[in-house]
Amino acid sequence: MDSLTIPRPDDWHLHLRDGAMLRAVLPETARHFARALVMPNLVPPVVTAAQAADYRDRILAAKPLNSKFRPLMTLYLTEETQVRDLRAAAEIGLVTAVKLYPAGATTNSASGVSDFAKVRRVLENMAQIGLPLCVHGEVTDPTIDIFDREAVFIDRVLDPIRRDVPGLRVVMEHITTRDAADYVRAGGPDLAATITTHHLVINRNHILAGGIRPHYYCLPVAKREEHRLALVAAATGGEACFFLGTDSAPHLDAAKLMPCGCAGCFTATNTLSILAEVFEREAALERLEGFVSRHGPAFYRLPVNTDTVTLIKGEPVAYPALIATDDGPVTVFDPMMPLHWRVAG
C-alpha cells in the first residue's frame, strides 16, 4: 500500500498555550486535524465557562486563513468548581470534557485536585449528563517512584472514583504502561484511553542512555520497552477504547534546556507521518483510520469528520527541526527514524 485516504483525524489531547506560542503552534495542528480537545492548564487555568469561551475565541482568532479547524474546549477541575457553571457550559456545547490534574502532577497543575472528596458532587453531575472526565493518571506522592505513579494512580485514585461514581465516563490520558492498557480494556464502555505519538516511539532509554535528552522528557515519563510495545499493540490492535491524543506540548527551547527543564514533546507537525510509519511496521496500516479518525468521535459521541486526508508513501519526508515563535524556537519531536509517509491533502 502506498496511499491511504481516511477521514480527517482529531487530536483528543492537545496543548496550544496562549499568546505568541498559540499563534505559532496552532497552524501545525490545523494543517492536518479537524478538531482537537484543548487542554485548560494555562496560567491562570481555564476553570469557568466564561474563561473557556474567551480562550476559544483567542484560538479561533489565531486560526490560519480559511482553516476549518474546531477547538473542543475543556474545563480545569478544581476543588472550587461550581456545578451550575459546569452544567451550563456543557448544555450549550461550550465544553466537551473536564480535565482532572492531581495537584502538582505536571506542567501548570498546581491548581489541581488534592482532596477528591471535594469534587465528588461535580463528578456525580458529570455522570448524570454524560460529560467525560479526562484524567492525568499519576499520583504525586513523592515516596512513589516516578515510573510507578501511573499504576499506583489506578489503584489508589481512579478505580475508587469509578466505583463511587458509577456511570462516570472517563478517559485515561496519555497512558504509558501495560497496566493502564489492561485496565482500560477491562473497564467497559465508560472507560477509554488516549495514546500519544511519542510514547509509541520512545522508551526511557531514549531519555537517559548515553546522556540526557531533554526533548524526549515528558510527563508521564516514558517507561521500559515492554510498556512501549504494549502501547503499540493497543494502538494498532483496532480496539475502540484506544485513540489518538498527541499531548503535543510546546515549550520554548530555553525552558526545555534549563537545569530543571519543562516536560513535554512537541509532535503536532509530524504526528501523522510518524503514526503511519508505526502502523505500517506492525502490518496494521488499515487500522490507522480507527485510531486517529473514528474511535475518539465514537467515545465523545460526535460525528466522524466528512473531510478526508490522504497519506502517500515515497521518499523520506523532511520536517522542520524548529518552529519559530516571537519568544524563541520550539523543537519538533525527532522520531529517530526516516518517515516515508506524507500528508498530501
Express each pLDDT in 180-222 by its tens digit: 999 999 999 999 999 999 999 999 999 999 999 999 999 999 9
In our burial notation (b when 16+ CB lie closer than 10 A, e otherwise), range 43-75 reads eebbbbbebbeebbeebeebbeeeeebbbbbbb
- Output the pLDDT for position 146: 95
Question: Given a cut of 80, is residue 71 above it in pLDDT?
Answer: yes
What's the pLDDT score for residue 114?
A: 79
The predicted model gives 157-186 an average pLDDT of 97
d(CA 309, CA 6): 6
Q: Partners of 36 in the beta sheet?
A: 11, 71
Sorting pLDDT into bands at 50, 70 and 90, what band is 150?
very high
Element (H, E) at 299: helix 295-300
Determine the average pLDDT of the residues in 9-14. Answer: 98
> Who's near 22: CB < 8 A, 6+ residues apart?
16, 58, 59, 62
Instruction: Provide the residue type at 218 as one letter.
Output: C
Cα–Cα nearest to 271, from 287, 253, 296, 292: 292
Q: What is the pLDDT of residues 102-133, one digit of tens each?
A: 876 666 556 678 788 899 999 999 999 999 99
Distant-in-sequence, close-in-space partners of 81: CB < 8 Å, separation ≥ 6 = 47, 75, 98, 119, 122
Angle, helix 225-236 to helix 178-185, in steps of 10 degrees: 30
Average pLDDT (267-292) is 98
Residue 331, φ and ψ in degrees, nearest 5: -80, 130
Asked if the bond preceding 220 is cis, omega within 30° of 0, the reply is: yes
* pLDDT score recorded for residue 112: 72
Confidence of residue 164 (pLDDT cuts 50, 70, 90): very high
Q: Are 250 and 323 spatial neighbours (Cβ–Cβ below 8 Å)?
A: yes
Provide the percentage of residues in the chain whose pLDDT is more than 90: 93
pLDDT at residue 74, rounded to an integer: 98
- pLDDT at position 115 is 85
Output phi, psi for 239, to 5 deg.
-80, 130
Query: Which pLDDT does position 103 carry in this prediction?
Result: 73
Helix and strand totals (H; E) in the chain: 13, 13
pLDDT mean across residues, the chain: 96
How many CA atoms lie less than 13 Å away from 186 in the CB half-sphere?
A: 8
**Side-chain-side CA neighbours of residue 218 (13 Å):** 29
Predicted local distance difference test score (pLDDT) of residue 110 = 63
Find out whether 113 and 103 touch, Cβ atoms under 8 Å.
yes
Whether pLDDT at 238 is above 70:
yes
What's the pLDDT at 344? 92
Provide the annotated active-site residues: 247
Q: In the CATH hierarchy, which fold is given to the domain comprising 3-343?
A: TIM Barrel (3.20.20)
Mean pLDDT, range 285-307, rounded to an integer: 98
Calpha distance 300→295 (Å, rounded): 9
Q: Which amino acid is at 168?
A: L
pLDDT per position as a tens digit, 308-324: 999 999 999 999 999 99
Tell me how far apart the alpha carbons of residues 219 and 216 are, in angstroms, rounded to a whole number: 10
Cell of 219: 510527563
C-alpha span between 178 and 231 (Å, rounded): 7
pLDDT of residue 1: 83
Q: What's residue 111's pLDDT?
A: 66
- Helix (H) or strand (E) holding 297, with range, is helix 295-300
Q: What global pTM score does this model have?
A: 0.96
| C-beta separation of 72 from 98 below 8 A | no
